[in-house]
Amino acid sequence: MAKLQKSIDKRNALLKATIELVNNSGFHATPMSKIAKMANVSPATIYLYFENKQDLVNQTYLEVKTKYTDFVFKAYDENTSVKTGFEIIWKRIAEFNSNECEYAFFLNQCNNTPMIDEPSRKEGIKYLQPLLHLWQRGKEEGVIKPVSDYILYAYSINPLSFLIMAQKRGEFQFTKAHIDEAFLAAWDSIKL
Amino acid sequence: MAKLQKSIDKRNALLKATIELVNNSGFHATPMSKIAKMANVSPATIYLYFENKQDLVNQTYLEVKTKYTDFVFKAYDENTSVKTGFEIIWKRIAEFNSNECEYAFFLNQCNNTPMIDEPSRKEGIKYLQPLLHLWQRGKEEGVIKPVSDYILYAYSINPLSFLIMAQKRGEFQFTKAHIDEAFLAAWDSIKL
Amino acid sequence: MAKLQKSIDKRNALLKATIELVNNSGFHATPMSKIAKMANVSPATIYLYFENKQDLVNQTYLEVKTKYTDFVFKAYDENTSVKTGFEIIWKRIAEFNSNECEYAFFLNQCNNTPMIDEPSRKEGIKYLQPLLHLWQRGKEEGVIKPVSDYILYAYSINPLSFLIMAQKRGEFQFTKAHIDEAFLAAWDSIKL
Amino acid sequence: MAKLQKSIDKRNALLKATIELVNNSGFHATPMSKIAKMANVSPATIYLYFENKQDLVNQTYLEVKTKYTDFVFKAYDENTSVKTGFEIIWKRIAEFNSNECEYAFFLNQCNNTPMIDEPSRKEGIKYLQPLLHLWQRGKEEGVIKPVSDYILYAYSINPLSFLIMAQKRGEFQFTKAHIDEAFLAAWDSIKL
DNA sequence: CATGAATGAGGTTTCATTCAT
DNA sequence: AATGAATGAAACCTCATTCAT
């Protein structure tokens, strides 16, 4: 057990280091040696846990994406009105962005650069299903605008990423009040 | 004259090559040698026009940002209603994203990674002034929600970036109809 | 007993794996980890049986060389005519090359690259004594050309190595008929 | 001109260093850094002249093989008896082995290990044509044994490689007298 | 002004070997 | 005796930058 635990610890330390360093410098500007140093292992050790750098980042991505989805949809229950359901999910996403901002930054980088390879990206997309189903229901009930999910996502969910990145850059302070304003804007943009 | 002209041509070729290569591979995965080759120039020549790689990218960024702003605000006239003004600006932004998507991709990369250094990024921000003024007027007139400009931007402007990137990835086709839907969502999200 | 037996099995598995992998990739392109894997053993275990990689290869070489000599000279009896004696030995060598080609390839690699260290190489040379004695007798009897043993070896024995390697590369098919032709060439080259 | 000459010099220095180092240690035990040092260039410079290590060795092989063939067949004239023609070629090969033994060692290494890739090996084989034609004529005239060219080569040409390698190892001294003895053995082995 | 050649520094990855268990 | 995990050293290779021409 001790040995296994140590291995898991090392793997986690590597994932953590990857997230932090990639957040600050991007994929290509983050050398394996730095990741190793931050995780307190030898560079060679990384290759016991991951095939290569790309694999390390892919696995980190999928792990973080899973954390994100677990967090976002844990509190969600299908038996609510569309608006309530959306509010619950949206607020969880906002909370994740605030509380786990390292994770949020990382996912953002992944979504905006050719850092993650196609298969892992595809794998990461399926996680949104519950939200898509909710929107589907909303369209059928005439509560949500009958437009592409991409547009709904672009206007109601993605702006949070922009705001969180602005906050990271120190340009913007995301307060409680802002969250309510943001939610209103999100809902207004997609509601019929 | 011939000499000077030639120089400008070379500089432009370098900027163009930078945009294309960075769009496809990102900043750190784009070697100077490739930029030089694509611009039909020796690597050493780059350093006659730019201090170093960072400077090349910064200058490219500012140049593209200028093209963007020039295009976006050229048709704008302050003497319109807030809604009309916003629509004009928004549609120009959408048009730029569609017609000059190479430029749009590049600006997006710049906004989402630690590729551009802080000074250049700061420099690039001031360009939005006319839109900010319009929003200010809108807030005073009670037409626009009285919230931070960052939130207004996040919900009404930034989603276009998300959609254009989704289109680049081939996930989404941005049609004429979509543009109208998107504008509606944008306006709904910020109007009072 | 069980313990000792097990050890010998492991050692043999390691020698076998070494031969196969070195045959296919050469000494320096064969990592210890692969040898261990093929022998179903931990890399660390190798070092219980051998001092280091060089020692592993040296020991493998001497072991194979012994198998070779045992096979080649087993049927040999000094009380024959020189020609008959030579034919017996030659045919055994040819048979070894055909039937135990893995061993033959390995010996060949060892003879042609700086893979084996000098002491082991020296050790491996003495095995040929019976053949050298036969040639000595042949020279005294005026049956064999009075030339250096190196020349006799180069022309009557070594060509088999070349042919067997050509066969391994798929360039040449070594049939029964070829063996007789080859023997004739061998004998013609050294007989007076 | 000066520049071009310098480039050619550098390339030649690299080929020379490759030959010497590979001769002494083998392909996989010869790091690029050592080759660079011996050629008095930076490791990075190697990659201006060769794509990678494999390419460096392949090109070296082909270059040396060409030197070999040029030397061997330069004095050869088709209008001779088979025996005389063979003697001329054989003696030239022997001379090459003696005088350019670095080249000869190198070719030998190449022929006996998986160092050279298949395409280059194939490329290197065609060089022997004149000898094969001579043998063909010899068979038709009933002067040469009617056996596979591989066997003829194995017995009449390849032994020289063995002897030259033995000499390199210091086991055997290849004198003028030896050459005549060796030629006789070679001819006896293939003549009818 | 323009360049091709050159390189030092540093990137990712491999591997022979060791060590705690 | 046996091992899986770990690693320092070194392998191949790339690239931003410089310099002689």
Least confident of A106-120, B126-140, C12-26, D38-52: A106-120
- Quick check: C163 and D154 CB within 8 A? yes
Segments of chain D with pLDDT less than 70: 1-2
Q: Which residue has the higher pLDDT, B157 or A117?
A: B157
Percent of chain C with pLDDT over 70: 97
Chain E footprint positions (protein CB, under 7 Å): 1-21
Chains touching chain A, criterion 3+ CB pairs below 8 Å: B
What pLDDT sits at residue D126?
A: 78
User: Model confidence at B127, in pLDDT bands (50, 70, 90)?
Assistant: confident
Task: Pull the structure tokens for residue A68.
Answer: 């994100």
| Cβ-based contacts of C189 with chain D (< 8 Å) | 155, 185-186, 188-189
Asked whether the predicted pLDDT for residue A186 surpasses 70, the reply is yes
CB contact set of A181 (below 8 Å; sequence gap of 6+):
B145, B147, B148, B151
Q: Looking at the domain covering B54-190, what would its CATH class be?
A: mainly alpha
Chain A residues 106-135 with CB within 8 Å of chain B: 108-109, 112-115
Distance D33 CA to E16 C1' (A): 20
> Straight-line distance from CA B103 to C1' E3, in Å?
30
3-state secondary structure string across A77-118: CCCCCHHHHHHHHHHHHHHHHHHCHHHHHHHHHHHHCCCCCH
Give CA–CA dist C126/C119, Å, rounded: 12
Closest CA to D108 of D81, D155, D147, D68: D68
Chains C and B touch (3+ CB pairs under 8 A): no
**According to CATH, where is 1.10.10.60 located in chain B?**
1-50
Mean pLDDT of A105-134: 87
D32, closest nucleotide (Cα–C1') = F12
| Start-to-end C-alpha separation, chain D | 56
Is the model's pLDDT at A122 over the cut of 90? no
Name every chain D residue with its beta carbon within 8 A of the beta carbon of C159.
Answer: 151, 154-155, 158-159
Predicted local confidence at residue A120, as pLDDT: 87
In chain B, what residues touch A188 (CB-CB under 8 Å)? 188-189, 191
What is the overall mean pLDDT for chain C?
Answer: 93
Closest to D192 (Cα-Cα) out of C185, A73, A11, B2: C185
Mutate to test the interface with A, among B116, B135, B151 (most CBs of A within 10 A): B151
Residue B1: per-residue pLDDT: 45
Does the pLDDT of residue C169 top 90, yes or no? no
User: How many pairs of residues across C and D have Cβ atoms under 8 Å apart?
Assistant: 118
Asked if the Cβ–Cβ distance from C26 to D25 is below 8 Å, we say no
- Rounded mean pLDDT of C154-175? 93
Q: Which of B37, B110, B64, B20 is nearest to B46 (CA)?
A: B37
Q: Is B170 left (phi over 0), alpha (psi -120 to 50) or beta?
A: left
Homologous superfamily assigned to C60-190? Tetracycline Repressor, domain 2 (1.10.357.10)
CATH 1.10.357.10 domain locations along chain A: 61-190
pLDDT at C3 over 70: no
D96-137 pLDDT, tens digit per residue, is 999 999 999 999 889 888 888 888 888 777 788 999 999 999
Is the pLDDT confidence value at B3 over 60? no
Interface of A with B in 142-161 (CB under 8 A): 145, 147-148, 150-151, 153-155, 158-160
What sign has the CA pseudo-torsion C112, C114, C115, C121? Answer: positive
Overall average pLDDT of the B107-134 stretch: 86
The yes/no answer on whether domain D61-190 falls in CATH 1.10.357.10 is yes
A3 or D114: which leads in pLDDT: D114
Q: H or E segment at C137?
A: helix C129-141
Q: What is the pLDDT of residues C63-101, one digit of tens each?
A: 999 999 999 998 888 899 999 999 999 999 999 999 999
pLDDT per residue as tens digits for the range A17-27: 999 999 999 99
Find the mean pLDDT for residues B100-127: 87
Using the CA of A50, which nucleotide's C1' is the nearest one?
A: E13
Cβ separation B178–A109 shorter than 8 A: no
| Closest C-alpha to D73, from D127, D111, D139 | D127
pLDDT tens, residue by residue, C108-164: 989 888 889 888 888 777 788 999 999 999 999 999 999 999 999 999 999 999 999
- Provide the residue type at D69 as one letter: T
Residue A191: CB partners within 8 Å, gap ≥ 6?
A83, A143, A144, A145, B188
Does B43 touch chain A if contact means CB atoms closer than 8 Å?
Answer: no
CA atoms within 13 A on the CB side of C54: 9
- Residue-level pLDDT at A38: 97
Collapsed DSSP state (helix, strand, coil) of residue A144:
strand
Are the CB atoms for B57 and B27 separated by under 8 Å? yes
B31-70 pLDDT tens trace? 999 999 999 999 999 999 999 999 999 999 999 999 999 9
Residue A14 has pLDDT above 60, yes or no: yes
Nearest CA to D64 out of D27, D101, D9, D114 is that of D101
CATH architecture of A1-50: Orthogonal Bundle (1.10)
**Residue of C73, C92, C177 lying closest to C132 (CA atoms):** C73
Write down the number of H helices and E strands in chain C.
11, 0
Q: Is A75 on the interface with B (CB under 8 A)?
A: no
Q: Which of A45-49, B146-150, C56-60, C172-176 has the lowest mean pLDDT?
A: C172-176
pLDDT of B95 above 60:
yes
Q: How far is the CA of C59 from the C1' of E18 (A)?
A: 22
CA C14 – CA C17 distance, rounded (Å) = 5
CA B90 vs CA B37, B136, D45: distances in Å: 37, 16, 53
Determine which of D155, D157, D174, D190 to mutate to test the interface with C (most C C-beta atoms within 10 Å): D155
Per-residue model confidence (pLDDT) at position B4: 56
Nearest residue to F12 via alpha carbon and C1': D32
3-class DSSP state of C78: coil
How much is the pLDDT for A2? 67
> What does chain B look like in DSSP terms, one character per residue?
-HHHHHHHHHHHHHHHHHHHHHHHH-STTS-HHHHHHHTTS-HHHHHHH-SSHHHHHHHHHHHHHHHHHHHHHHT--SSS-HHHHHHHHHHHHHHHHHHTHHHHHHHHHHHHSTTS-HHHHHHHHGGGHHHHHHHHHHHHTT-B-SS-HHHHHHHHTHHHHHHHHHHHTTS----HHHHHHHHHHHHHHHB-
pLDDT average, residue stretch B79-87: 95
Q: What is the pLDDT of residue C1?
A: 44
Q: Do A114 and B186 touch (CB under 8 A)?
A: no
C1' of nucleotide F19: residue with nearest CA: B44
Average pLDDT of span C163-181: 92
